[in-house]
Amino acid sequence: METTSSPTSSEPSRWSRSTVALAAWLAIAIFFVVSAFALRATSEGETESDTLFDYSFATGSVVIYAVIVGLTWLIARAFRDPAEALGLRRFPLRWLWIAFGVTLVSVIVAALLEPYLHASEEQGLAPDRWEEGRAVAFALNAAVIVLIVPFAEELFFRGLGVRVLAFLSEPAAVVGTAVVFAFAHGILAGIPALGLFALALGWVRYRSVSVWPGFVAHASYNLVGILAALYAALDDNPPAALAALF
């Protein structure tokens, strides 16, 4: 006997898969927030001024963010086209200029808030001084922070996060991912600047329908942070330190 199916017969299945994707993203996001603050609490008072000169920071970060990318892609498979769901698609070039504008404004806001909130000091990544002979380790860590970290975070927070929350509304998707992103760093003093930055990144992701402009902005933002840390480290002995870089 011939069977028929209505045009909406596949809707429950699609809704169920989207719900699973949302639940998985929320579970991982909550884990990020809890673990970030737990780690910050256990390491409170410890000095980490040499982190950017330590190879283990780069290798550990690569492993952690590779896992994040893998989990993000796995969850995105709940959608018909995972790459499209994550925003891995082409975009109008005007969004590059918008991305750089977002970076500029975010850097200015962070700089204005720093004297009052001391977010960089709380983060503890910036070195107190340049360490001779460790330029390669610094460059490797810088590459990870500027390239790998933004890619993984944009893919999870803006790529997948905005997609799974989009059924609510654009504001809910943008604000929701921004709040999680800000708290997932575990730096209370950094929440205002990170939250505003994430709001802009979420808006760019939603409107451009691509994760790449946000990646460009995020990578540029981190690059400014690395250059600022390098400048501070070189302040005591610029000539010798610069010689070690080349």
Give the pLDDT confidence of 92-111 residue by residue, as tens digits: 999 999 999 999 999 999 99
Residue 207 lies inside a defined structural domain of this protein: yes
Q: Which span out of 14-23, 115-124, 181-190, 225-234 was modeled with the highest average pLDDT?
A: 181-190
Residue 192 lies inside a defined structural domain of this protein: yes
Number of domains in the chain: 1
- Label residue 157 exposed, middle or buried (CB < 10 Å: 0-12, 13-18, 19+): buried
> If pLDDT is split at 50, 70 and 90, which confidence band does 244 have?
very low
Residue 6 lies inside a defined structural domain of this protein: no
Residue 1 lies inside a defined structural domain of this protein: no
Residue 4 lies inside a defined structural domain of this protein: no
Residue 143 lies inside a defined structural domain of this protein: yes
Contact by Cβ (8 Å): 192, 113: yes
Q: Which span out of 11-20, 35-44, 190-199 was modeled with the highest average pLDDT?
A: 190-199
Give dist(CA 230, CA 134) in Å, integer: 13
Residue 54 lies inside a defined structural domain of this protein: yes
Tens of pLDDT, residues 111-167: 999 999 988 888 878 888 888 888 999 999 999 999 999 999 999 999 999 999 999
State the amino acid at position 103 in one-letter form.
T
Domain range for 49 is 13-245
Average confidence (pLDDT) over 1-15: 45
Long-range contacts of 211-215 (CB under 8 A, 24+ apart): 211/86, 211/87, 211/88, 211/154, 211/155, 211/158, 211/159, 212/87, 212/88, 212/91, 213/91, 213/95, 213/96, 213/98, 213/99, 214/99, 214/154, 214/158, 215/150, 215/151, 215/154
pTM for the whole thing? 0.88
